[in-house]
Amino acid sequence: VQLQASGGGLVQPGGSLRLSCVFSGSSVGDYAIGWFRQTPGKNRKGVSCIGRSNGPMYVDESVLGRFTISRDDAKNTVYLQMNSLDVEDTATYFCAGDPTGQCPGGAQYWPYWGQGTQVTVSS
């Protein structure tokens, strides 16, 4: 199983970005896919998760109403649409996969990870 995150970049406060996580090596439809972010010196924190068949879903309160997770299993891709970005959203963003199809919680419970993509929000 491999996951590849992309779509990061530099954006001004209030702007938008869409991250993509392309999944390969198995059927993405069986997996829960989560997005996490990490800043230097801090632990990786869950941002949002979508379960199998658009099942269980989690959105961290810090991004609620601004970030939207979605999946297109036909394209083996999960997206994170990020709107109204704030400097506090600056981080390296990672996607992760879990074969139970649920959203298992903290980063330590996710067995598969993609490389990070950097999001920088700055004027």
Q: What are the start-end ranges of the H helices in the chain?
A: none
- List, in sequence order, every residue forming a beta bridge with 81; answer none if it has no partner: 18, 68
Separation of alpha carbons 63 and 99, rounded Å: 25
pLDDT at 57: 87
Residue that wins the pLDDT comparison between 20 and 30: 20
* 91-98 and 77-82 strand pairing: unpaired
SS3 73: helix
Burial class (CB in 10 A: 0-12, 13-18, 19+), 122: exposed
pLDDT band at 28; cut points 50, 70, 90:
confident
Instruction: Please check the confidence at residue 29 and state whether its pLDDT lies above 90.
Output: no
Cα–Cα distances in Å, from 50 out to 5, 44, 117?
A: 15, 17, 19
